[in-house]
Structure 1
Amino acid sequence: MTRIVRILITSLPIAILSLCGVMSGAEAQLIGDTPPGLPAFNVTGSEDGTSTYSLSLQILALMTALTVLPSLVLGMTSFTRIIIVLSILRQAMGTQQTPPNQVLVAIALFLTFFIMAPTFTQLNDMALSPYMEGTMPMETALSDGTNIMKDFLVQNTRVTDLVMFTEMAGDTTYEDPKDVPLTVLLPAFITSELKTAFQIGFLLFLPFLVIDMVIASILMSLGMMMLSPMLVALPFKLLLFVLVDGWAMTVGSLVATYAGS
């Protein structure tokens, strides 16, 4: 039994190398004109300067894109600002887990799709559709799509944040949004989104804080110190929020904060 296991362990690297297509030059000549290296990961150049990627590389790129997609949704869209504002609003109202996290994420996603619709439409018309139809090479489609996203990011990033990360990277000022590298633009955009979200959250918190202070003062004057002010203030907060149509005001204000939305 031990000998069989030893034989399997010894032959395992050889089997893996055979499956990957790693072979010597003499073996390649016996089989045919197989290119050296890993045949499953080949890039073939054409006469017009474009490159053709093997199916394995295309699948690898697709799986990588699906893995990075959640980070892109969080970091390159309006999702961050919306979810932070909604979370602060729920905390200011004192409703604990109402609306639940799943509902807040769903609202943030739908609002993100609404805000990003013009950018996504332009991205589909100018980059994705031509590439899928075969009229545009992948490198050009990727470059055009990146430039479209850069326009949105630059428009919604504070100049001070962009200048700060530009100086930290040791670069000079950029004449065009397309010249800004993503390594500088993405952290500047995230920092700007966090600052804007907390500013909006502060403004939303003020009226509910006033209600808490008024209710606490009334209860203190009545000698009801054992009664929780948050419990008494909750119905008044909900009533105020409903009377002023708070959800429409909050959602409308969030959408209006984005340029070109």
Structure 2
Amino acid sequence: MNLIDIFSSTDAETVTTSVQLLILLTIFSLAPGILILLTSFTRIVIVLSFTRTSLATQQMPPNQVLVGIALFMTFFIMAPTFQEINQEALTPLFNEEIGLEEAYERASTPIKNFMANHTRQKDLALFLNYSNAETPETLDDVPLTALIPAFAISEIKTAFTMGFLIFIPFLVIDMTVASVLMSMGMMMLPPVMISLPFKVLLFVLVDGWYLITDALLSGFN
């Protein structure tokens, strides 16, 4: 049976299969946007990028490593939410216990709960005001069209705050090394070249990757 026959058939079992296939294709096409905007991925990858920039190690770790770490940390953090979506929405839908519309409503609830817990009220109010929406009484009344961008900018703000705090100790090292070189008259020697080993040494001694990972995980508890 080809793809045209699947979507043109009126048999109940075939229609169910076609709906499942359509949902699967839709999820695959929207996966990048869902992963970036509806999960913890944005905050994690920005913080890791800030860490590499503050160390001034150029492309070490490489982009592939940072994105891979952010990806698997996202799966770890979002596992309870994904499990709830699977139990409450996907499994009943595939078992033909509920319809597609009810499955969407059930799947949106865990995602809304996660995003609402990490969204500033100020950011959410901004999008609700611009859309002229009524003040929602419950979380179910909050439209995803307003919650998703509010969650995104809240995550970016939090990530930049964490990135600033990461920058401070390395900035102190750069300023100290630059002052020492200037006092010794070595103005032609790049301070970054001298401070890099000290920054890497400090980061290793304090177990920096552990501390940053712990801070990221704690922020989503």
Q: Percent identity?
A: 49
2:116 is aligned with 1:154? yes
Q: Which shifted more, 99-108 or 129-138?
A: 129-138
| Conserved 8 A contact 2:7-2:15 | no
TM-score of the two chains, using structure 1 as the length reference:
0.77
User: In the alignment, what sits opposite 1:123?
Assistant: 85
| Conserved 8 A contact 1:42-1:54 | no
Seen in structure 2, the aligned counterparts of structure 1 residues 99 and 112 have a Cα distance that, compared at 3 Å, is same
Deviation at 1:138, TM superposition (A): 2.6
Deviation at 1:234, TM superposition (A): 0.6
User: In the alignment, what sits opposite 1:222?
Assistant: 184
Distance 1:41 1:186 in 2: 35
Counterpart pick for 1:252 among 193, 201, 214: 214
Distance 2:15 2:47 in 1: 43
| Conserved 8 A contact 2:45-2:67 | yes
What is the root-mean-square deviation of aligned Cα atoms in Å?
Answer: 2.2
2:23 is aligned with 1:64? no
2:137 is aligned with 1:170? no
2:133 match: secondary structure:
coil
Seen in structure 2, the aligned counterparts of structure 1 residues 41 and 177 have a Cα distance that, compared at 3 Å, is farther
User: In the alignment, what sits opposite 1:137?
Assistant: 99
2:183 is aligned with 1:239? no
User: In the alignment, what sits opposite 1:14?
Assistant: none
Seen in structure 2, the aligned counterparts of structure 1 residues 54 and 126 have a Cα distance that, compared at 3 Å, is closer
User: In the alignment, what sits opposite 1:189?
Assistant: 151
Instruction: Return 5+ residue gaps in structure 1 as ranges.
Output: 1-19, 22-38, 47-51
Distance 1:67 1:173 in 2: 33
| Conserved 8 A contact 2:20-2:94 | no
| Conserved 8 A contact 1:162-1:185 | yes
- State the Cα deviation string for residues 126-170 of structure 1 (Å, max 9, x = none): 222222333333322221011111111111100100011110110
2:161 is aligned with 1:199? yes
Distance 1:124 1:160 in 2: 31
Deviation at 1:43, TM superposition (A): 7.9
2:60 match: secondary structure:
coil
TM-score of the two chains, using structure 2 as the length reference:
0.91
Aligned length: 218
Which AA in structure 2 matches 1:126? E
- State the Cα deviation string for residues 40-65 of structure 1 (Å, max 9, x = none): 45789x9xxxxx94655543442222
Q: Say which structure, 1 or 2, has more relative contact order (CA 8 Å, 6+ apart).
A: 2
2:39 match: secondary structure:
coil
Seen in structure 2, the aligned counterparts of structure 1 residues 41 and 198 have a Cα distance that, compared at 3 Å, is farther
1:96 match: secondary structure:
coil
Which AA in structure 1 matches 2:211? M
User: In the alignment, what sits opposite 1:102?
Assistant: 64
Distance 2:47 2:22 in 1: 36
Distance 2:209 2:79 in 1: 21
- State the Cα deviation string for residues 227-246 of structure 1 (Å, max 9, x = none): 11101101110111111111
| Conserved 8 A contact 1:151-1:178 | no
| Conserved 8 A contact 1:43-1:54 | no
2:53 is aligned with 1:91? yes
| Conserved 8 A contact 1:41-1:57 | no
Q: Which has the larger radius of gyration?
A: 1
Distance 2:10 2:50 in 1: 50
